[in-house]
C-alpha cells in the first residue's frame, strides 16, 4: 500500500512510519513541525519508500498519486502542547480531520483516526469501555483537546455513514517509549528526566490518581491490526494494568538508581482521577493485547533518555 501518515514527525507518528515501512508499504509522511521533531525521521531520509511533505493539515491537503490508507495522527497531544496551542489543537482536530477525510474519500483510501482516552474525560465508569460516552468539561482548559478529538470521532463516523468511507477509530491510552520529548509534560518523560537530573519528582495531587501505561511497540502493533482487520467502531488500545502515579514515580527512581525526593503540586483542573482501558474489543476482534511490562518498557525508555539528554 501507499499510505499517508499525518503528524509523522511526532512520537507516535514516527514509530508508525517505521512499522508501516517494515511491512513493505510506501509511506508519505506529513507534518508542519509545530510539535513534531524532525530528528524522529532523520533515519528515513534516504529510505526509498518514504517521502516527507511539510504541510499544515488544517489547510487543503493534496498528495499526488494513489493512496490506499490515511493515518490521521496530527495533533498536539500533551498537556503542555494543547494548553499552549489551544486554537491549533481545535483546528487540527476539526479542520484537519475534515481535510484528511476528504482526501481519503477522493483517493478511495481507508482512514484511521488517532483518537484518545481523553474522550472519556474524568470518567465515572471504570475501567472505560468503548460504550461509555464520557464525562468531559467542554469549557475547561483541557476541553480544547478532549472536544477536538470527540468532534473528530463524530466527523469520522459521519463520513463512514454518509459517504460509506472505510474508517477506523483508535482510542489511545497513555503511551510511552523512545522519542518522547523530554519536556512534553507527560508523566513518564517528566519523571525520567527529573530522576536522571537528580531533581525532585513532581507528583500532582497526592499521587493516588491512576494511569495505565502502554509501551509504544505494543500500541503500534494494535493500531496496525486495527487498520488491517478492524471495524468502524471506536477501539481502545492501551495497557489494562493500572498503576498509581506514586507507584510510577517510585519505579522510575528504582530503575534509575535515583535519590530524588517526591514532591507534591496541586492537581491540574479536570485531571482524570482514574484511567484504565477495557480492551475486550481489541482482544476479541484483533487478537491483540500488550506484552511489554511497565518495568521492561521503562528500562528501554530510560536508556533512550540517557543517550538523548544534553
- Inter-CA distances, 61 with 11, 103, 220, 238, Å: 22, 7, 25, 30
Q: Contact, 125 vs 140, CB < 8 A?
A: no
Output the CA angle 291-279-95, nearest 5 degrees.
105
Q: What distance in Å separates the CA atoms of residue 113 and residue 131, rounded to the nearest whole number?
A: 18
Q: Cell numbers 468503548 label which residue?
A: 130
Q: What distance in Å separates the CA atoms of residue 272 and residue 136, rounded to the nearest whole number?
A: 10
Cα radius of gyration rounded to whole Å, the chain: 19
The one catalytic residue among 82, 145, 176, 215: 145
Q: Which residues contact 63 (CB under 8 A, 6 or more apart)?
A: 4, 28, 30, 53, 103, 107
Q: Contact, 7 vs 75, CB < 8 A?
A: yes
Cell of 59: 489547510
Q: What distance in Å separates the CA atoms of residue 76 and residue 168, rounded to the nearest whole number?
A: 20
Residue 304 annotated among the catalytic residues of the structure: no
Do the bridges between strand 175-176 and strand 214-215 make them parallel or antiparallel, or are there none, so unpaired? parallel
Q: Contact, 252 vs 191, CB < 8 A?
A: yes
Q: What distance in Å separates the CA atoms of residue 232 and residue 237, rounded to the nearest whole number?
A: 14
Burial class (CB in 10 A: 0-12, 13-18, 19+), 169: buried
Q: So which residues are the catalytic ones?
A: 145
Amino acid at each position: 500500500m501507499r499510505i499517508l501518515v499525518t503528524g509523522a514527525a511526532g512520537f507516535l507518528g514516527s514509530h508508525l512510519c517505521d512499522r508501516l515501512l517494515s511491512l513493505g508499504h510506501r509511506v508519505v509522511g506529513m507534518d508542519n513541525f509545530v510539535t513534531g521533531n524532525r530528528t524522529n525521521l532523520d533515519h528515513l531520509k534516504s529510505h526509498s519508500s518514504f517521502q516527507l511533505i511539510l504541510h499544515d493539515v488544517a489547510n487543503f491537503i493534496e498528495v499526488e498519486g494513489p493512496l490506499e490508507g490515511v493515518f490521521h495522527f496530527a495533533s498536539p497531544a500533551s498537556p503542555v502542547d494543547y494548553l499552549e496551542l489551544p486554537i491549533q489543537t481545535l483546528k487540527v482536530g476539526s479542520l484537519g480531520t475534515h481535510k484528511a477525510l476528504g482526501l481519503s474519500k477522493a483517493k478511495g483510501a481507508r482512514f484511521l483516526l488517532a483518537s484518545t482516552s481523553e474522550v472519556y474525560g474524568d470518567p465515572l465508569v471504570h475501567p472505560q469501555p468503548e460504550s461509555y460516552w464520557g464525562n468531559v468539561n467542554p469549557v475547561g482548559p483541557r476541553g480544547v483537546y478532549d472536544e477536538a478529538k470527540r468532534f473528530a470521532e463524530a466527523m469520522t463516523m459521519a463520513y463512514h455513514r454518509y459517504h460509506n468511507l472505510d474508517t477506523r477509530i483508535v482510542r489511545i491510552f497513555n503511551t510511552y517509549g523512545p522519542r518522547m520529548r523530554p519536556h512534553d509534560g507527560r508523566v513518564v518523560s517528566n519523571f525520567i528526566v527529573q530522576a536522571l537530573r537528580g531533581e525532585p519528582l513532581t507528583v500532582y495531587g497526592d499521587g493516588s490518581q491512576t494511569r495505565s501505561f502502554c509501551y509504544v511497540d505494543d500500541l503500534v502493533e494494535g493500531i496496525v491490526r486495527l487498520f488491517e482487520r478492524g471495524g468502524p467502531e471506536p477501539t481502545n488500545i492501551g495497557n489494562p494494568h493500572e498503576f498509581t502515579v506514586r507507584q510510577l514515580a517510585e519505579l522510575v527512581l528504582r530503575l534509575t538508581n535515583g535519590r530524588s525526593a517526591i514532591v507534591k503540586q496541586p492537581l491540574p483542573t479536570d485531571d482524570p482521577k482514574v484511567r484504565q482501558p477495557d480492551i475486550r474489543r481489541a482482544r476479541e476482534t484483533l487478537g491483540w493485547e500488550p506484552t511489554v511490562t511497565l518495568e521492561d518498557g521503562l528500562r528501554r525508555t530510560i536508556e533512550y533518555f540517557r543517550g538523548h539528554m544534553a
